[in-house]
C-alpha cells in the first residue's frame, strides 16, 4: 500500500500513485480513492467526477479494484507421511473495500500472501503424498476458504487459488516411479489372471454345453430306437393277427 510517497511491500499492481489534490478529481474506471478529512477517513471515491474540498480533504490511498493473479513463491512443506515437497501457486483476488484495506491492516495484500503460504503448508501437512497429487482441487478449495474468511475484514475478495507445481526430491521421484511401475505390473497380473479365469469358465461352460448336447443326442437316439422297435412290434403283431384271420377263413370254407 502507498501512503504519500512511502512504498510498502505490497504487489505494486494493486496500488496506484496518489494523485495531486485538486478541487475536481477524476477517478478512472477500475479504481477507488480513499479521502481523509482532517486526518480521518471521510469517504471512498468510485470511478467518475468528484469534488474534494481543498485543505480539509486529501486523497490518501489509491487502489486498483480489478481482479489480478498474484504468484505465491515456491516454498517447502511436509506431507503427513513425512515427504518434503516444493510447491507454488497463484492466488486470484481483488480489493473490494478500499476503506478496510487502508485502515484495518497494514499492507493487506502482502499479509494475505503470507497467510496463503502458511495455509498452504498447513493443508499439505494433513495429506499424504499420493492424496496431494490426486486431490489438488480439494486442496485449492480448502486454502481459498481459509483465505476468504480472513481477507473479508481486510477488504479483499479471494476469488480462487491454483497450485501450479508440486516438486519432490529425485529420490522420492524414483520411488514414485518404482511404485507406479509396481502398480502397473499388479494391474497387468490381475488382468491376466482374470482373463485366465474367464477362459477356464468359458471352457467349462463349453464342455458343459457339449455334454448337454451329447446327452440330448443320446436321448433322442434312444427315443428313436424305441419308437422304431415299437413300430416294428406293431407291424409284426398286425401281420400275425392277419395271418391267423386268414387261416380261420380257410377252415370255414373247407367245412
Please tell me what DSSP assigns to residue 93: E
Q: What pLDDT score does 253 carry?
A: 55
165: Cβ–Cβ under 8 A, 6 or more apart, which residues?
Answer: 74, 86, 87, 88
Task: State phi, psi for 40 to the nearest 5 degrees.
Answer: -120, 155
Q: What pLDDT score does 12 carry?
A: 42
The position carrying cell 415299437 is 230
98: Cβ–Cβ under 8 A, 6 or more apart, which residues?
Answer: 32, 33, 34, 44, 61, 63, 65, 155
Out of 3.40.50.11390, 3.40.50.970, 3.30.479.30, 3.40.50.460, which CATH number does the structure's domain 67-168 have? 3.30.479.30
Q: What pLDDT score does 131 carry?
A: 86
Beta pairing class for 2-3 and 6-7? antiparallel
Average pLDDT over residues 164-171: 78
Distances (CA, A) of 98 to 15, 59, 81, 112: 11, 12, 43, 15
Give percent of the chain with pLDDT exceeding 70: 79
Q: Which residues pair with 36 in a beta bridge?
A: 41, 58
Strand order in the sheet with 57-64: 40-45, 31-37, 57-64
DSSP 3-state of 48: strand
Per-residue pLDDT tens digits for 199-247: 777 888 878 887 888 777 787 777 777 777 777 777 677 767 776 665 5
Q: Which residues pair with 2 in a beta bridge?
A: 7
> pLDDT at residue 18 above 80?
no
Element (H, E) at 121: helix 108-124
The CA R_g of the chain, rounded to the nearest whole Å, is 46
Decide if 64 contacts 1 (C-beta within 8 A). Answer: no
SS3 string, 180-244, reads HHHHHHHHHHHHHHHHHHHHHHHHHHHHHHHHHHHHHHHHHHHHHHHHHHHHHHHHHHHHHHHHH
Chain-centroid distance of CA 36 in Å reads 48
How many other CB atoms sit within 10 Å of the CB of residue 182? 10
CA distance 194 to 68: 53
Q: What pLDDT score does 9 carry?
A: 36
In the chain, where the domains are located: 13-64, 67-168, 181-229
Decide if 40 contacts 59 (C-beta within 8 A). Answer: no
Q: What pLDDT score does 245 carry?
A: 60
Amino acid at each position: 500500500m502507498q501512503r504519500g510517497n512511502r512504498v510498502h511491500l505490497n504487489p505494486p499492481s494493486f496500488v496506484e500513485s496518489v494523485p495531486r489534490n485538486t478541487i475536481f478529481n477524476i477517478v478512472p474506471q477500475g479504481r477507488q480513492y480513499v479521502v481523509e478529512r482532517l486526518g480521518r477517513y471521510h469517504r471512498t471515491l468510485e470511478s467518475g467526477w468528484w469534488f474534494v474540498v481543498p485543505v480539509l480533504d486529501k486523497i490518501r490511498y489509491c487502489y486498483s479494484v480489478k481482479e489480478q493473479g498474484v504468484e505465491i513463491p515456491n516454498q517447502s512443506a511436509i506431507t503427513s507421511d513425512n515427504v518434503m515437497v516444493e510447491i507454488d501457486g497463484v492466488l486470484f483476488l481483488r480489493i473490494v473495500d478500499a476503506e478496510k484495506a487502508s485502515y484495518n491492516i497494514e499492507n493487506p495484500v502482502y499479509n494475505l500472501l503470507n497467510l496463503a503460504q502458511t495455509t498452504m503448508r498447513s493443508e499439505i501437512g494433513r495429506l499424504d503424498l499420493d492424496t496431494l497429487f490426486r486431490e489438488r482441487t480439494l486442496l485449492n478449495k480448502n486454502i481459498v476458504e481459509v483465505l476468504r474468511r480472513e481477507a473479508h475484514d481486510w477488504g479483499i475478495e479471494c476469488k480462487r487459488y491454483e497450485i501450479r507445481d508440486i516438486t519432490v526430491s529425485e529420490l522420492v521421484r524414483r520411488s514414485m516411479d518404482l511404485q507406479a511401475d509396481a502398480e502397473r505390473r499388479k494391474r497387468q497380473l490381475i488382468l491376466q489372471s482374470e482373463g485366465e479365469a474367464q477362459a477356464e469358465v468359458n471352457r467349462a461352460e463349453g464342455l458343459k454345453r457339449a455334454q448337454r448336447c451329447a446327452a440330448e443326442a443320446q436321448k433322442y437316439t434312444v427315443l428313436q430306437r424305441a419308437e422304431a422297435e415299437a413300430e416294428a412290434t406293431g407291424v409284426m403283431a398286425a401281420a400275425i393277427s392277419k395271418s391267423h384271420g386268414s387261416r380261420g377263413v380257410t377252415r370255414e370254407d373247407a367245412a
